[in-house]
Amino acid sequence: MSERWRPDSRLAVGLALILLGVLFFAPSPACAAAPRLLASVHKWRPSPPERQSLASTRARYPSSRILRYLSAKSAVVLDAGTGEVLFARNPDMPRQPASTIKILTGLIALESLDPRAKVTVSRRAARMPRSKVYLEPGKWYWAGDLVDAVLLASANDASVALAEWIAGSERAFARKMTAKARQLGARNTVCRTASGLTARGQYSTARDLAVMFGQAMRHPEFARRVSRAKKRAGFGRTLVNHNKALWRIRGAVGGKTGYTRAARQTYVGKFERNGRALIVAIMGSEAMWDDVERLVRYGFARLRRQVPAPPAARLAGARPASSASIKDRVARLRAQLHQEAGLAPVRILSAV
C-alpha cells in the first residue's frame, strides 16, 4: 500500500541532496590553492606606466603584423646609438635568461683576468652538463681560451671554471654578475649561476639583456671575440660560434644565444647597416631565428625614417623620443614603413 510523503520527509530528502552536493562539488584544499599557485607563477603584470609606454609604442609604430607572427614571449629592439625603443613586447617581463647571461660571465672574466693567465679546472666545473667543451679536472687552460669557449661555444664547464677561479665559488661569482648588471644599467636581473642553467630566483628581461649587451659591445676585446664565427683554441678544440646570425642575417656583428627547457630559446645581438645599429633581444621564443630576422628587418625599416641621433645619447634607460612631425607626414611615413617591412599596405587619410 503506497503512502504519501509527509512534509518532514521532503525536508529530509532535500537536506540530504544539499549535503551530497557540498561533498561532491566543494573544492578541495589543493584545488583551492591552485589559483594562488598559478597567480604566483604568472604574477608579473605590466605596471600602469609600462602599459602606457607599450600602448604608445604600438600606436606610433605599425607593429601589429610583427606581433601576429612573433613567437617570442618577450622582445625588444633598441637603437644602439640612442637607446630608443623601436619595438617592444613585454620588455620587462622577468624570465629565465639561459645562456644569454654568459655575456656577464665573459665580460667579467675579460675585466678580471689576463688572457694568458692559467686557470685550473675543478671537478665540479668539469662535471657541468652540456653545452661544454669537456675540460679535464685538475688541468690548467689559458683564460682567453676559456672566455672564447663561453662566448662562442656557450660552454658551461668553462663558465664555472672561470667563476670559481675569479671569485672562489660560483655563488660568489653570481653575486658579482648581479652587481655588474646593475652597473651596466640592468635593473631587473638577478644571477644565480655563471652558466645560465635554470635556477630558482634567477631572471632577467629582454630590455635588460639588450642594455647589457649594448654596453658590453663597447668593450673592444669583448666585441672582437663575439664577432668571430669560429676559433681554434689552444687546447686543440675548434670553437664554433652558436650565433648563426653571423652568416644568416646581414649586418650581424655579435650576439649570444641560449636555451633551456624553462627559458625556451633566448637571444641578444647587435646588427649594423649603413652606419646605424640595432640591439635585438628576445626571450621565450619557439622560432628564434625567424623572430630575430623579422625584428631586424623591422628595426632597420624604422631607422631609415629617422634623422641620425647625437652619438652622446645614453643607451640605458632611454625611452621612445617624441615625434615633431605633423600628422600628415607621420601617416605617410607609416605607410612607407609598411611597404619596406613587407607588411600589408595601409590606406592613407589626411590628418585632421
Residues 6 or more apart whose Cβ sits within 8 Å of residue 299: 77, 86, 87, 271, 278, 280
Q: What is the CATH number of the domain that holds 305?
A: 3.40.710.10
The CA distance from 153 to 150, in Å, is 6
Average pLDDT over residues 322-327: 45
pLDDT of 254-263, one tens digit each? 999 999 999 9
What is the number of residues in the chain?
Answer: 352
pLDDT of 206-251, one tens digit each? 999 999 999 999 999 999 999 999 999 999 999 999 999 999 999 9
- Contact call for residues 41 and 276 (beta carbons, < 8 A): no
> What is the pLDDT confidence band of residue 170, given thresholds at 50, 70 and 90?
very high
Over 50: is that where the pLDDT of 321 sits? Answer: no
Residues 6 or more apart whose Cβ sits within 8 Å of residue 269: 213, 243, 245, 252, 254, 255, 256, 279, 280, 292
Residues 6 or more apart whose Cβ sits within 8 Å of residue 270: 80, 213, 214, 217, 252, 253, 254, 255, 277, 278, 279, 280
Average pLDDT over residues 15-24: 54
3-class secondary structure, 216: helix
Q: Classify residue 339: in a domain, yes or no.
A: no
Tell me the average pLDDT of the chain.
Answer: 81
C-alpha cell at 68: 601576429
CA atoms within 13 A on the CB side of 147: 26
- Can you give the pLDDT at residue 79? 96
Determine the structural domain holding residue 123 and report its residue range. 48-321
Residues 6 or more apart whose Cβ sits within 8 Å of residue 254: 217, 223, 226, 227, 243, 246, 269, 270
Among 17-21, 174-178, 293-297, 323-327, which is the least confidently predicted range? 323-327
Q: Which residue has the higher pLDDT, 58 or 245?
A: 245
The H or E element spanning position 336 is helix 327-340
- Contact call for residues 97 and 313 (beta carbons, < 8 A): no
Over 90: is that where the pLDDT of 14 sits? Answer: no
Count H helices and E strands in the chain, helices first: 14, 9
- Can you give the pLDDT at residue 68? 80
Q: Classify residue 344: in a domain, yes or no.
A: no
Q: State the total domains in the chain.
A: 1
Q: Classify residue 36: in a domain, yes or no.
A: no
Q: Classify residue 333: in a domain, yes or no.
A: no
Residues serving a catalytic function are 99, 102, 154
pLDDT of 94-116, one tens digit each? 999 999 999 999 999 999 999 99
Average pLDDT over residues 74-103: 96
Among 62-76, 106-120, 127-141, 170-184, which is the least confidently predicted range? 62-76
Cβ burial, residue 220 (10 Å; 0-12/13-18/19+): exposed
> What is the pLDDT confidence band of residue 76, given thresholds at 50, 70 and 90?
very high
Over 60: is that where the pLDDT of 302 sits? Answer: yes
Over 70: is that where the pLDDT of 264 sits? Answer: yes
- Contact call for residues 188 and 203 (beta carbons, < 8 A): yes
Q: Classify residue 191: in a domain, yes or no.
A: yes
Q: Classify residue 175: in a domain, yes or no.
A: yes
- Contact call for residues 192 and 178 (beta carbons, < 8 A): no
Over 70: is that where the pLDDT of 310 sits? Answer: no
Average pLDDT over residues 30-43: 37
Over 90: is that where the pLDDT of 42 sits? Answer: no
Q: 1-15: buried (b, 16+ CB within 10 Å) or exposed (e) per residue?
A: eeeeeeeeeeeeeee
The CA distance from 257 to 241, in Å, is 9
3-class secondary structure, 38: helix
- Can you give the pLDDT at residue 117? 98
Cβ burial, residue 317 (10 Å; 0-12/13-18/19+): exposed
CA atoms within 13 A on the CB side of 53: 20
CB neighbourhood size of 286 (10 A): 11
Q: Classify residue 24: in a domain, yes or no.
A: no
Q: Which residue has the higher pLDDT, 67 or 8?
A: 67
- Contact call for residues 194 and 176 (beta carbons, < 8 A): no
Q: Classify residue 176: in a domain, yes or no.
A: yes
Over 50: is that where the pLDDT of 4 sits? Answer: no
Q: pTM to 2 decimals?
A: 0.72
